[in-house]
Structure 1
């Protein structure tokens, strides 16, 4: 069954592309995956592109971002490596979950990109008034083997409430809780509580926005295994950046 927005959504009147930032698995000592981040065709930042999206274009933009991310990842990801592609999506732009996945599944099939390698993350900074609808989205995505994640956990709308209503596969702790955690007992306590709670739920924890070795060491000691941030690598436009770990390029 199709939803009306699939056929009536306004076309985009601008072009865009993607940059990629690695997610590092400190336990395995390797890149776990890459997040696709929207950029202009000349590398303009995400805000400049997102500010062009009108309410009538939100659905089309969400769909086109998925397709562009899969297309680029299929060309850039090394063959034979088990890597995740993390794609941001807007829950309020998904109207009928099954119908709204068709373009994603077609793109995955067209470029032979396995759905099990795709992670969909939504930010809790986007307020979702209908949590039942969001739960239906997550259920539908899991049917197709997608990994689900909450981005910016701890900085937006009702993070704990979302965990009560449903449990994603992964949460990304927001950088506001990460910044300076090595010298902040309060942040250390909050993050430790999040890690313990997620362990009970069986949810993987990722710390994002890492900028120093001290932040990384403190979070690793707290039991977190996945990391993302400038200390590992900055996003690279239409390519996969090398891990840097501060200054030394590997």
Structure 2
């Protein structure tokens, strides 16, 4: 099976013409032994390389390339399969962009391709990616995070508290903060619903009859607000999750929530309702009306798990939340994943244009946080900063620069 892979990286040191020639000679010899062909572009700072060959050989070679100390910030841009090779002959064609005018680039790439491949060039996604990077002489299209080794995360033990489960409490909640590390600030706590035994939301809702699902979803928020009151969280935002149809199934849903908030001595402006994308919105009109009532009451609105469920872009366009929480599946390993980087950059740009605050969910690695910061994300949630604490406030790990050696 013929596999295609494109990656981007940054040279660690300035590279002379002789050093580049030596690198190409080594690459050609190595690639020939693996039956891998392709194309290497270099602009003096960044490499963009296409590898094509047997799937196992391409993956093995990419692993080797990732460990090469001559470059860093290795980001996979594409992995695909195809019926034929686009390049052949030299085992690795080379285009030094420093020696070319912009008008020469596309034609030179085309000249190095096989005749068979040239016939489909207008519809070839691989060639479009290579040409786009080759023509983009400024590097504003490339985001690279700071070196993760420059940071360590230290727990703020003073932020922790003991769990306080009350007798007869039907539901439990695990608290996880959303933080803004640059200000060393907690912007809100998300109250993640758990069953009476501490089970996940999926386990909780699977254990109840479908007809009671939305009622339980609404009624459980009273326990979240009571917990917030007991923990004296009266000067911070509180986020609670709601299934979209919970706001539609009961016409009095918003009034019920306002009564719950007032009964615990909280204010509507302190509460953010996170609309989950785990189910489709059946009645757009009634859902929209419920969102309007929430906003008129002063309750904030966020879209949770954006990009992982139903109606992501249409929900964003129609209801324009205060906050947009980017799902962890998009965030995972984003520092090394070109498609995810392109998606998040587009989300951040759209949020800026719409006045929406983006939040990165599920951040677990320092490298992820470094890249997301560089891309313009300021608010984060995930194990890197704090694990959820059942019925209590968790200790938070804040980033600190490592001392210079």
CA distance in 1, matches of 2:233, 2:173: 17
Q: Report how far residue 185 of structure 1 moved.
A: 1.6
Give the whole-Å Cα distance in 2 for the aligned partners of 1:124 and 1:199.
22
Q: Structure 1 residues 51 and 96 mapped into 2: Cα distance closer, same or farther (>3 Å)?
A: closer
Bigger radius of gyration: 2
Distance in structure 2 (CA, Å) of the matches to 1:178 and 1:70: 30
1:126-184 Cα offsets, whole Å, 9 max, x none, are: 11132222221111100110110101111111211112222111110001110000111
TM-score where L is the length of structure 2: 0.55
Equivalent residue for 1:105? 258
Determine whether 1:230 maps to 2:380.
Answer: no
Asked if the contact 1:35–1:86 (Cα under 8 Å) also holds between the matched residues in 2, the reply is: yes
- Alignment-derived partner of residue 157 in structure 1: 310
Moved more, 36-45 or 209-218: 36-45
Could you say what secondary structure the match of 1:91 adopts? coil
Query: Partner residue of 1:7?
Result: none
- Does the 8 A contact of 1:233 with 1:245 survive in 2? no
Higher share of residues assigned strand: 2
Which sections of structure 1, spanning at least 5 residues, go unmatched? 1-13
* Counterpart position of 1:209: 362
Residue 17 of structure 2 aligns with which residue? none
Counterpart mapping for 1:43-192 below 5 A: 43-79=198-234, 81=235, 83-95=236-248, 99-192=252-345
Tell me how far 1:242 sits from its aligned partner. 1.1
In the other structure, the counterpart of 1:6 is: none
Deviation at 1:124, TM superposition (A): 1.8
C-alpha distance in 2 between matches for 1:109 and 1:166: 26
| Aligned equivalent of 2:179 | 24
| Structure 1 contact 97–140 (Cα < 8 Å) conserved | no
CA RMSD of aligned residues (A): 1.9
State the 4+ residue runs in structure 1 displaced beyond 6 angstroms. Answer: none
Distance in 2, matches of 1:183 and 1:215, equals 9
Figure out how many residues of one structure are paired with residues of the other and give that number. Answer: 232
C-alpha separation in 2, matches of 1:77 and 1:182: 37
| CA-CA distance at 1:197 after TM superposition | 0.6
Change (3 A) 1:72 1:165: same
Q: What does residue 9 of structure 1 align with?
A: none
Cα drift, residue 245 of structure 1: 4.6
Structure 2: gaps spanning 5 or more residues: 1-168, 400-405
Is the CA contact 1:39–1:49 (under 8 Å) kept in the aligned structure 2?
yes
Question: How far apart, CA to CA, are the structure 1 residues paired with 2:356 and 2:233?
Answer: 27
